[in-house]
Amino acid sequence: MKQGRSSPRASKEVCPHYHGAVELIGRRWSGAILYALTRGPLRFAQIKDSVPGMSDRLLSARLKELEEAGLLERRVHEGAPVLVTYELTPKGESLEPVIGKLRDWARRWHRVEVG
């Protein structure tokens, strides 16, 4: 065991803050949406292209949930046609190091068939 860390058996309950965060970010497609937005603001169709296999209805629902949680912001740019973009808030941007570490872990330990 690494120094400075308590035994996993030290507490019988999972930290409620951790649990809530994992449930929010770990919902199907949410992590992938956040990952896509780490590259900068995107339009709805761009997010959908970045995360193939997700329906419009589900993408819409996840974007709304992430916006309500304060992780992303929906911006409407006036003009013809009206342009809507989604981007991470400072709260969402603070997840970038975590997302990067998870990406690195996945590349090392979680192999998937690509293509």
Q: How far apart are CA 107 and CA 112, in angstroms?
A: 9
Per CATH, the number for 16-109 is 1.10.10.10
- List b or e across 15-54, with b for residues whose CB sees 16 or more CB atoms inside 10 angstroms: eeeeeeeeebbeeebbbbbbbbbeeeebeeebbbeebeeb
pLDDT digit string, tens, across residues 66-112: 999 999 999 999 988 889 999 999 999 999 999 999 999 999 998 77
Residue 89 phi, psi (nearest 5) = -85, 175
pLDDT at 6 over 60: no
pTM for this structure? Answer: 0.82
Position with higher pLDDT, 114 vs 71: 71
Residue 7: pLDDT band by 50, 70, 90 thresholds?
A: low
pLDDT digit string, tens, across residues 15-67: 999 999 999 999 999 999 999 999 999 999 999 999 989 999 999 999 999 99
Position with higher pLDDT, 108 vs 115: 108
Domain boundaries, the chain: 16-109
